Structures are given as structure tokens and as C-alpha cells.
Structure 1
Amino acid sequence: MARSMLIISRQSPWSGPSAREALDIVLAGGAFELPLGLLFLDDGVFQLAPGQQAASAQQKDLTANLQALPLFGIEALYAAKRSLDERGLCEADLGLPVEVLGDDALRTLINRFDHVVTL
């Protein structure tokens, strides 16, 4: 049986390759039907903000990759409530439907997965 994996994406889409690498791992795992979850934490929640200006930061736009997640069977998407609040982001304004979790629920989520990878 496949072991479950949670990918925690902690980097903003413009801070370097980590955000893209996290999405690549999730999309590859989804193609092989692995049980995966993706958690946006800390500055990683900025990936969910609409209207990214990737070209101005000389980065590739991640919007298409994020929108492709459900096509690859990746529907377990989460965001940390505290991270959203600290960065002034509102759940209703996010570019993807995610389950917003408080601190206690985050601990429970992380403990549910066999492997956790943080990028």
C-alpha cells in the first residue's frame, strides 16, 4: 500500500524555486495516485493570493500549476489560519479552495501522514 505524504509549502511564489518544487512533487505524486496533501504555511499562503505578478519578480507564474492540482487528483489542500491572518489574506479571496486550519488542527493533520516534506 502506498504511504501517504504531506507536502508543506512555506515559501512565497517569488522567493525562489521552493514553491515550484513543492508543486512539482505534488503533481508528480498525483500522477502516480499517491495519497498526498498540500499545506500552505507561513509565506507559502501567498501562493494562494490572486493576481500574482510573477513576471515582475522574474519568476514563473504558478497559477496554472495550482489550478491543475484537482486534475491530478490532489484535493487535500490546506492553509494555516494563522499564516493567512498574519499576512492579511482572507479565505474568501484565495485563488483555490482550501481547508483553513487552526493550530490544533494543523498538528492533527501533520500526524495523519506517514511522511512530511517541508519546502
Structure 2
Amino acid sequence: MSQSLLIISRQAPWSGPGAREALDIALAGGAFELPVGMLFLDDGVLQLAVGQTPEAVQQKDLTANLQALPMFGVEALYACAQSLALRGLRETSLDVERLDSDGLRALIDRYDQVITL
């Protein structure tokens, strides 16, 4: 049986390589049919903001990678409800399950391996 993998993405889309690396790991795991989940936490929820303009900061758009997650079998997508609220994000670009602190603990406990970027 495959080990399940939870990737926790905590970086804003263009604050460094962490956001892109988290997406790359999730896509690679999904391509190899691993049970992969992805949690957006802290500034990582900013990746889910609608209407981003990465060209304004001369960066590549992560939207295509985010939208490809379900096509690669990564359908378990979560976001910290408190992180979303603190950043004023009511609407997200992906359909994610919003979790409170108890839900976050239970989620992390369900996975065999956890990677935080």
C-alpha cells in the first residue's frame, strides 16, 4: 500500500520558491498515483486568491499548476479557515475544504508523511 503524503504550503505565491516547489511535489506524487493531499496554511492561502496578476511582479502564474492538481489525482485540497479569514479571502480560485484548528490536527494525523514548504 502506498504511503499517503500531505504537502503543507505556507508561502505566498511569489515570496520564494516554496509555493512552486510544493505544487511540483504534489503534481509529481499525483502522477505516480500516490495518495496526496495539499493544505494551504498561513500565507500559503494567498495562492488561492482570485484575480492574481503575477506579471505585475514579473513572475510566472501558478494558477495553471493549481488547476492541474485534480487532473493529476490530487483532489484532497484543504485551507486553514483562520488563515483565509485573516487575509480577507472569502472566495478562492480552487474548491478547498476549509478547516478549523481541530480539523487541521485531524488532517495531519491522517497522513503517513507530511512535507511543509
Whether TM exceeds 0.5 here: the answer is yes
TM-score by length of 2: 0.98
- AA paired with 2:114? V
Q: What SS is found at the alignment partner of 1:84?
A: helix
**Which runs of 4 or more aligned residues in structure 1 lie more than 6 Å from their structure 2 counterparts after TM superposition?**
none
- AA paired with 1:11? Q
- AA paired with 1:36? V
Structure 2 match to 1:27: 27
**Deviations along 1:20-52, whole A, 9 cap, x unmatched?**
000000000000000010000000000001111
- Root-mean-square deviation (CA, aligned residues, Å) is 0.6
Structure 1 match to 2:59: 59
How many residues are paired up?
117
Structure 1 match to 2:71: 71
Runs (5+) with no aligned partner, structure 1: none
TM-score by length of 1: 0.96
1:114 aligns with 2:94: no
Runs (5+) with no aligned partner, structure 2: none
Percent identity of equivalent pairs: 69
**Deviations along 1:56-108, whole A, 9 cap, x unmatched?**
22221000000111110110000000100110111xx1100000000000000
